[in-house]
Structure 1
């Protein structure tokens, strides 16, 4: 028995030594799915494989050494996003194994992302175990190169957060719409607001026929303030989809509504093939820049016009890559575009949201629109045939400030389309730990199972969003939507930053901890209205925070008082 054990042990040792004499086979062929869809997302159809020789730029988002460090840093204004020491070594070995030239690989996004420039689609398919195809959106006609699933070697799953573009079938929707005629209530008289604007009195409620800049400045108490830090303070407006504004329309708008005809107004920065054709402006771009300027004039403005490039790059990732690489970044940024969170892969959403957190840690206040579909568009049925409310992204990211819509005044009320609800991707952030549970207690069991009660709640604040006059192609027209509310709110935050900078202080940066804390006293609580959708009545605006108007609308002077 003793000699038998020795013989067996001898065989084992011999085999082990033989295996050690051979070079270890790399683990890069042991592929496991990272993310996939069971079917092509709704409204997208495949047009087949990309043309031979087509290339894409891949972004490999690396997991940070300390996953909570960035969020801690956001609250403490620090910066810790570097990957674990072994991560780069492993990923570079994997890329080398697949013949990816080191000259085509660069670091970006603060060191947490590897950018692979000009990867052939054939090579990307091999690298990721994917099947890239060209897809077209049946409603909007937009085409993208994507795959319904991709894999990574098992050894990399703990090191790579996501790869972009892969399964992110998202296209930004602009949040403006044709104004609705509201025939509810009984007209009992005409009057003028204290700002001099004509209003209609409906059953005791003052309805503004045109929410002009003079009305907004009176309503939100900014009309007496003139910016003083124009050499330092800047307001940025993001235009996705190649949208571009018209300087002629801006000039006409500012001459009529701000009595200004001597300003440069804004400059356009073109990114990734973005446009700047004044002869072909877009209503969204005009609305966004005109109301940002109307509220913050004469603060300098930058309009970022973003293109897709030949490889149909991801809008948000390209813009975030650009802005994080800039030496000088606007202190306030307005984004009026949204995606359905439902079709935003969770790890992709985390990756984009982390980049927004990086911006916040750099002292930037980022405001985004909550959407115009209330709690959700259509039946809100998911792939399992169940109804589920549809929040929007990047609004559900906890590290941006989300703007819903209001209408009327004395009192203001929620706009019926104001997007709101709870994230299915992101848990409730620390700054909402007191305000959101109060709403949920009031809601009770209503809509149970249709939303995530532990998710990040949106919006955070709100602003006027109905009957906003703009100039477009030389003609005046009205627009409605949270696209207008967002630059209005951003303009007010920009004025607060101007005041802070002009008094030798730092800008606000990430707003939400302050808004949900001391800044709350500077907001007008909205307690009327709701946001129907999904064939239901939606959530109701109540005292305190609610998923319709958030904490309320801004009062500039009172907010200044909370910064003293």
Structure 2
């Protein structure tokens, strides 16, 4: 067997011999030196790097047309989602692109048996030494270290391709992406944790119930004002007494990244405390790209436990899946770590899009500052999310935990400056919540509900405002005093969030102890759970799942505002400002509000004809 260095030498020799000396290379993508990252030593030549090559999707506009038609409650095709094969046909690259990229790879000694392709052939995945990547891309990779976290990645600030390939390659990563993926968990109240695995859900408050007209039975237990449980959410969002089916094919999924492990023993403690009828049930775990789900109590993840305990507790007995995706551990130069993709969204998307059957509802509580994600990468990943929506899956993402800031809970740590070398003060939206093909979920607190201070909200600098938001967002912008935050946000951008849910004081079990935790990472799986319950009701009624939610959400909000609980108090400070205010109608703190499950179920199972939807067009 040849040594790695010998293989590299042969591959480089093949590349040098095969590529004509007249080949003209041109810069494909470049970025300024990213703020917060320090360039260290050159990347080791023998380090194996995984490159994902995106081929253009010339018919994506047609896929987008299909997506909006099957997601628009005004359209005759509403709910007629596409099959896996139909989506793949719409995103397939041109044959010429496939041929030219194959030719280029072969010229560098990379042949069919050394690569993998997505089912649609729109992605090519190769594993090659850094030295070969540098030759192919006419660049130099270095080890870069993130100041705040100390984590390191292998990246470059510029790469080139042969000029004739520019129209046939959309992007190649990891190259210029310096994002720092965050788990959106803003508050973790260790002081509330008990030493025993005994929660407080069973404690009865002496105070009388809180009158909430939209809640189940018109009231919510007083204890819910301080401690949020499954029962609290069922009461508050008018879902008490509803039991989803186990036989109609409905499923819910939770994504996990950053070595966050969902502990089954903790889940059983949670069930014993809050959902005793679910005891001894569990969820399916799917490991992706080296992901793990270590069951040591010491390794239990607060984020993963929060997401799975509440999502699966609220939707029991709906089958649940926890997707654990690897690729996030920092690169340690001395160890020559075998993989260093550090872009787990792509790893997860590559897996999930290849599956014939996928959950109808999937929630994610992780994000990056939008400005740290290259525009080409963000737009391509966003388009991948559109494929899932077209297939009938609802995707929820936490809107962020820094208000209008960069996701840092502590305003003193927020860096609200552009990342383009100008260092101009700017609000910092997060991605993927800023993608118009997903549903961004903001946060509330207390009963009656008010906006929680950390609820991420604002306007995208990458994506323009989609048509489904125009009426609601324009009303909000018209309420702002002239010149409010001028230059700090893009008023024409995709607005965040779309909806909201409770986001603080959630009672979970972690490492055998009970305690309270918060963040929009609590809000996203909560909202997703009520969507999953709606999907169950629809499937049992012979109706299709909801799929891409946003056109429907804004249409229902316009025609039947009481289907969402409008949040009109609170704000989301950040970047040295008070942020935006919650107000009547849509706002950049809580979106259109929190769900009234009972009302939504009535609308979505008795037929959209029960609404005068035409009045909202």
TM-score (norm 2): 0.81
Q: Which residue of 1 aligns with 2:491?
A: 453
Q: Which residue of 1 aligns with 2:309?
A: 290
Give the C-alpha shift of residue 55 in structure 1.
1.3
Q: How well do the aligned residues superpose, as a CA RMSD in angstroms?
A: 2.1
Q: Does 1:339 align with 2:339?
A: no
Q: Which residue of 2 aligns with 1:380?
A: 416
Give the C-alpha shift of residue 265 in structure 1.
2.4
Matched residue SS, 1:48: strand
Check 1:519–1:544 CA distance in 2 against 1; reply closer, same or farther (3 A cut).
closer
Aligned partners of 2:245 and 2:317 also within 8 Å: no
Q: Which residue of 1 aligns with 2:31?
A: 37
Aligned partners of 1:288 and 1:483 also within 8 Å: yes
Moved more, 294-303 or 76-85: 76-85
Matched residue SS, 1:320: helix
Q: Which residue of 2 aligns with 1:168?
A: 177
Q: Which residue of 2 aligns with 1:96?
A: 106
Q: Does 1:440 align with 2:477?
A: yes
In the alignment, structure 2 segments of 5+ residues that lack a partner are: 1-17, 70-80, 191-205, 212-218, 329-337, 407-413, 607-617
Cα separation, 2, equivalents of 1:93 and 1:291: 50
Give the C-alpha shift of residue 229 in structure 1.
3.8
Matched residue SS, 1:437: helix
TM-score (norm 1): 0.89
Equivalences for residues 243-258 of structure 1 within 5 A: 243-258=260-275
Q: Does 1:241 align with 2:241?
A: no
Cα separation, 2, equivalents of 1:433 and 1:539: 18
Check 1:295–1:25 CA distance in 2 against 1; reply closer, same or farther (3 A cut).
closer
Cα separation, 1, equivalents of 2:545 and 2:557: 14
Give the C-alpha shift of residue 327 in structure 1.
1.6
Q: Does 1:312 align with 2:353?
A: no
Q: Which residue of 2 aligns with 1:276?
A: 293
Give the C-alpha shift of residue 274 in structure 1.
1.0
Q: Which residue of 2 aligns with 1:7?
A: none
Q: Rg larger in 1 or in 2?
A: 1
Cα separation, 2, equivalents of 1:338 and 1:245: 19
Check 1:84–1:26 CA distance in 2 against 1; reply closer, same or farther (3 A cut).
farther
Q: Does 1:115 align with 2:108?
A: no
Cα separation, 1, equivalents of 2:575 and 2:116: 44
Q: Does 1:536 align with 2:583?
A: no
Aligned partner of 1:149 among 150, 158, 163: 158
Equivalences for residues 153-552 of structure 1 within 5 A: 153-178=162-187, 191-193=208-210, 197-199=221-223, 208-230=225-247, 232-279=249-296, 280-308=299-327, 310-313=338-341, 314-377=343-406, 378-382=414-418, 383-410=421-448, 412-443=449-480, 444-518=482-556, 521=560, 522-552=563-593
Matched residue SS, 2:42: coil
1:508-560 Cα distance to aligned partner (Å, 9 max, x none): 11111111113653211111111010000101111111111011101111111
1:495-520 Cα distance to aligned partner (Å, 9 max, x none): 01111111122111111111111365
Aligned partners of 2:56 and 2:122 also within 8 Å: yes
Give the C-alpha shift of residue 94 in structure 1.
2.0
Cα separation, 2, equivalents of 1:481 and 1:31: 46
Cα separation, 2, equivalents of 1:59 and 1:52: 19
Aligned partners of 1:403 and 1:485 also within 8 Å: yes
Cα separation, 2, equivalents of 1:497 and 1:229: 12
